[in-house]
Amino acid sequence: MSKKIFIPSLIILFAVSAFLISRSYQNEETPNTANSNSTATPATSSIPLNSDLLTYRNKKYALEFNYPKDWSIQAGESVAKIIPLKKSKEEEAYITFEALTGRPKGTSLASHLTGLPPDLKCEKESQIGNYTWCFVDERFEAIRRDIYGFTQNNVDYVVTLHVRYGRQQMTYYISDDELKSELTALNSILNSFTIAPEKNYSSVAVYFGNTQEDPNSAECNKVYSTFRTIQKTQTVARATVEELLKGPNEAEKQVGFFTSINSNVKIKDLQIKDGVATIEFDSQLEFQVGGSCKVSAIKAQITQTLKQFPSIKDVVISIDGRTEDILQP
């Protein structure tokens, strides 16, 4: 009888010990879920912009990108046309995706994108999302084309914003201010454009200020989400904050995004336990930072970016191990 009691007792003792040991090693690699039914993966319901996006997938080229749900898409095997559902009476605007093959030998990427001379150079190269895009800008009279492309596996992938105004004798360029919704849609596509996404990538949100949404910066702690595509990782929260620290890319800047966080800030540590993310930065985070508004904006960007994950309910920010005397106005 005593043996029957002793053996189950050992089993129970072993299970309790294993549980306590596992809790002592919880960190950012294996986020604590005691206060959540989910692990630290992006929660659609906690990212406002997610509800405004749809996803286009192309099986032939194993790619996908996001576009606003108030746009429709007409898709073929190697081309797609994305059209706003609400059309202006004076403006025709749409975005196209193309996968171009068979570029003639000696022809530049920029030339293939535009059909212009074979030695045409990119006006600018920008890292947006996962790729370095070649940018060519075409504007004349009432027509504007913003053309982005990159090459992979002998395929030129091209995303183009086409705009044409119907005003008679219009001789000035169509400005970015007149194209807020179009540039926002373009930004969503470029940032989320991913080849073979189902195997290697995740879509996450990062939060910045935005001059178009809040022109007068009336609310210092008001931040707005934009999407980034990152490689799948067990440390998704850390990888997402690293994307935040890069600041807005060129496409995001065009639609008003800006950051209040200094450049070259580094993460020293990130741990998640009992619903609290404790993130430690180096001293660059507070270098020459002054003013209560900027301090509030920095905290909001970091906090909202981390709180998109359902296992994170609160955020503690530290600098070189200090939490009490940091980010002073």
Q: Are 182 and 288 in a shared domain?
A: no
Q: At what angle do helices 292-307 and 236-245 cross, to 10 degrees?
A: 150
Q: Are 173 and 227 in a shared domain?
A: no
> Which pLDDT does position 256 carry in this prediction?
86
178, 195, 212 — which closes off a domain?
195
Q: Are 144 and 251 in a shared domain?
A: no
Render the burial of 30-54: b for 16+ CB within 10 Å, e for the rest.
ebbbeebeeebebbeeebebbeebe
> Which pLDDT does position 329 carry in this prediction?
64
Is 14 strand, coil or helix?
Answer: helix
Q: Are 96 and 134 in a shared domain?
A: yes
CB count in 10 Å sphere of residue 297: 24
> Which pLDDT does position 89 carry in this prediction?
64
In a domain, residue 57? The reply is no
Q: Are 154 and 181 in a shared domain?
A: yes
Is 213 strand, coil or helix?
Answer: coil
In a domain, residue 16? The reply is no
For 327: left if phi > 0, alpha if psi spans -120 to 50, otherwise beta; the answer is: left
Q: Are 47 and 121 in a shared domain?
A: no
pTM of the model: 0.58
Three-state SS across 139-158?
Answer: EECCEEEEEEEEEECCEEEE
Q: Write the CA distances from 238 to 163, 285, 308, integer angstroms.
A: 39, 16, 12
Q: Give the Cα separation of 309 and 46 in Å (integer).
A: 8
195, 214, 242 — which closes off a domain?
195
In a domain, residue 10? The reply is no
Q: Are 182 and 207 in a shared domain?
A: no
Q: Tokens standing for 157?
A: 């992938």
Q: Are 183 and 207 in a shared domain?
A: no
> Which pLDDT does position 9 carry in this prediction?
46
In a domain, residue 14? The reply is no
Its domain, for residue 76, covers: 63-195
Beta bridge pairs of residue 73:
82
In a domain, residue 18? The reply is no
> Which pLDDT does position 288 carry in this prediction?
85
In a domain, residue 148? The reply is yes
The widest CA-to-CA distance across the chain, in whole angstroms, is 101
> Which pLDDT does position 51 carry in this prediction?
54
Q: Write the CA distances from 299 to 113, 269, 310, 314, integer angstroms.
A: 42, 17, 19, 12
Q: Give the Cα separation of 238 and 122 in Å (integer).
A: 34
Q: Are 208 and 189 in a shared domain?
A: no
Q: Are 209 and 327 in a shared domain?
A: yes
Q: Tokens standing for 169?
A: 């004798």
> Which pLDDT does position 304 carry in this prediction?
95
DSSP 104: P
Full strand arrangement of the beta sheet holding 257-258: 224-231, 201-210, 257-258
Task: Give the side-chain half-sphere CA count within 13 A for 6.
Answer: 3
Q: Please give the chain's pLDDT, 329 residues, in tens.
A: 333 334 444 444 444 444 443 433 334 433 332 333 223 333 322 233 445 788 898 888 889 899 988 899 998 889 999 999 877 666 789 999 999 888 888 888 988 888 778 788 899 998 998 899 999 988 877 788 999 999 988 889 999 999 987 765 555 567 777 788 899 999 999 999 998 755 677 778 899 999 888 888 778 889 998 888 788 888 999 999 999 999 998 878 888 899 999 999 999 999 999 999 999 999 999 888 878 898 999 999 999 999 999 999 999 999 999 988 888 76
Dump the DSSP string for 21-59. HHHHT-STTS---TT-SS-SS--GGG-GGGGGEEEEEET
> Which pLDDT does position 198 carry in this prediction?
52
Q: Are 184 and 82 in a shared domain?
A: yes
Q: Give the Cα separation of 110 and 121 in Å (integer).
A: 6
The terminus-to-terminus CA distance of the chain in angstroms comes to 70
In a domain, residue 20? The reply is no
What's the structural domain count of the chain?
A: 2
Provide the CA 260 distance to its chain's centre, in angstroms: 17
Q: Are 40 and 69 in a shared domain?
A: no
Helix spans in the chain (H): 2-24, 109-114, 180-192, 197-200, 236-245, 250-254, 292-307
155, 172, 195 — which closes off a domain?
195
Residue 138 sits in a domain whose CATH number is 2.60.120.1690
In a domain, residue 270? The reply is yes
